[in-house]
Amino acid sequence: MNGSATASNTWQTLAAHAEGMRGAHLRELFAADPQRFARFSVEQCGMLLDFSKQRLTAAALHSLHGLWWAADLPGWIGRMRAGEAINHTEGRAVLHHALRHQGTRPILHNGLDVMPDVRAVLEQMRRFCHDIHGGDWRGATGEQILDIVNIGIGGSDLGPKMATQALAAHRQPRVNLHYVSNLDGAHLATTLAKVSPRTTLFVIASKTFTTQETMQNAVSARRWLVEALGEPAVRRHFVAVSTNLGEVTRFGIDPDNAFAFWDWVGGRFSVWSAIGLPLALAIGFDNFQRFLAGAAAMDAHFFDAPAEQNLPFLLAALDVWNVDFLGAETRACLPYSQSLELLPRYLQQLEMESNGKRTGRDGQDAGCATAPVLWGEPGTNGQHAFYQLIHQGGRLIPCDFIACREADFPLPGHHDKLLANCFAQAEALMRGKTADEARAEMAAAHVPEAVIGRLLPYKVFPGNQPSTTLLLPRLDPHGLGQLIALYEHKTFALGAIWNLNAYDQWGVEYGKQLANRLLPIIEGRAKPDGLDSSTAGLIAYCRRS
């Protein structure tokens, strides 16, 4: 099998199934099987996953289940849980599931149980949240902290920021959270304009405490604070999430106020660690623990459930089906929840940074298409933007609809309409509208025959757009923890199926290397030797007086 599911008999069988699906329409599949929803949906962990609107037959679904064994998912899960260095290019274990582990079973890394250190950091976070919320931690002027600014980028920003917004209904009163990530000074400057140095705490999130974007923003925030309150104030207004205590101390932060995490925690999988400190400050530590417990529940499900009932694996298998066998190049993430507005952006990093690769674990070309381009917007806003293209643009665009049975902000008259729109869009994408249906609809509205003939081509919808609908009971800390862990494990499963290392990101590192080479040239401290004409011309234009 050469280490890859793509070389398996299962892969060849799926290719034959896909060929047999050409010309089939989803409305015909539903008409032929009144029990299609029951056969193509799974209810687990309090969630309902409906994939009956995917272009699938029962035989094709059975073959997709076979990817569980063809990719050796049980083996990869076992290696991850055993602390093996499955991030082989960086020689690192992948143990973010340990950060939310609820039991007493040891989780080993290099023969040592990591759980005592994990619990020690959680206890440090609990005490700090208690001190901030209780008013025991005060700024240099003796005033309580009212605003918290998290400075990080990538996984040190997107995860906690997304979760903070998603759980706005559970936020602590009085404490306001702000997130700064972009190197563009506009991001920090506009944030500082909203807060007072006397009542603001900065959380600097950088494992190495050398990340360029984060440290430039941190230095500028420090200057702003010192100009207002003086140098000694830094120790009362800055804390760090880092492992580089030397750099933390040189910055002026008390090392006792540094929250650790470990090299077996990848950035985009780190919201469960001390990187989640701003989230814990936003929603309270008890809710943060519920968030961890939700993720742990999804861990248990993924580790133990069979392929046919395994939610993360099923989502991964559907991606493989659409990308590798039906030819989809993108996937739309469409949460019908304003609180999940940032989820598509978060999943962009999680999935495209993890599996946006062409080189397999064996150093050879993966031999198949991998991560699709992921994009999206909350409903119903997206309906008034890009849904037109999905309905009639002629491209295959699988969609993930995500909704909650209960509203997190239950204003009368809103949630039922929201759900109606969500379900209607999935139905419309599946069914489409034939020319006969469009003609009958206009005739019933007494549209003149001449107008019907002119408008008819524009009123036809091809349909047959595949979608999955994921229904959560409600958007609370436990449910959000489950949802994020669901997509984490889906990403892991996809990496196994495509034979990729989902935990490195060399493309990101390359861009950073080039930026460091260009910076002294842009600043005028070095000559533009060895540059291509485009890059040299752009720099020359910016340096023109």
The DSSP result for 379-416, as a single string, is TTGGGGTTHHHHHHS-----EEEEEESS-SS--TTTHH
Single out the catalytic residue among 62, 88, 414, 512. Answer: 512
* 353 tagged catalytic: yes
Question: What whole-number distance in Å separates Cα of residue 157 and Cα of residue 387?
Answer: 29
Handedness of CA 61, 63, 65, 68 (dihedral sign): negative
DSSP H helical segments within 86-180, as ranges? Answer: 115-134, 158-166
Question: What whole-number distance in Å separates Cα of residue 64 and Cα of residue 55?
Answer: 13
The DSSP result for 292-329, as a single string, is HHHHHHHHHHHHHS-GGG-HHHHHHHHHHIIIIIS---
Omega cis (within 30) before 380: yes
Determine the distance from the C-alpha atom of residue 146 to the mean position of all C-alpha atoms in its chain, rounded to a whole number: 28
CA dihedral 160→165→168→172, nearest 10 degrees, is: 40
Is there a contact between 502 and 481 (Cβ–Cβ < 8 Å)?
Answer: no
Single out the catalytic residue among 353, 415, 478, 489. Answer: 353
With 0-12 CB in 10 A as exposed, 13-18 as middle and 19+ as buried, what is 81? Answer: middle
Single out the catalytic residue among 88, 384, 414, 417. Answer: 384
In the structure encoding, which two tokens stand for residue 14, read together?
């799926």
The DSSP result for 473-523, as a single string, is S--SHHHHHHHHHHHHHHHHHHHHHTT--TT--HHHHHHHHHHHHHHHHHT
* Residue showing tokens 């070309």: 365
Question: What whole-number distance in Å separates Cα of residue 517 and Cα of residue 539?
Answer: 13
* 512 tagged catalytic: yes
Kindly report the number of other CB atoms within 10 A of residue 526's CB atom.
Answer: 12
In the structure encoding, which two tokens stand for residue 332, read together?
């739309």
Question: What whole-number distance in Å separates Cα of residue 40 and Cα of residue 136?
Answer: 54
Spell 347-381 as b/e; 16+ CB within 10 A means b: bbbbbbbbbbbeebbeeeebbbbbbbebbbbbbbe
Coil, strand or helix at 215: helix
Question: What whole-number distance in Å separates Cα of residue 464 and Cα of residue 485?
Answer: 30
Q: Which residue type does 278 have?
A: P
Spell 162-194 as b/e; 16+ CB within 10 A means b: bbbbbbeebbbeebbbbbbbeeeeebbeebbee
* Parallel, antiparallel or unpaired: strands 47-50 and 41-44: antiparallel
Catalytic positions are 353, 384, 512
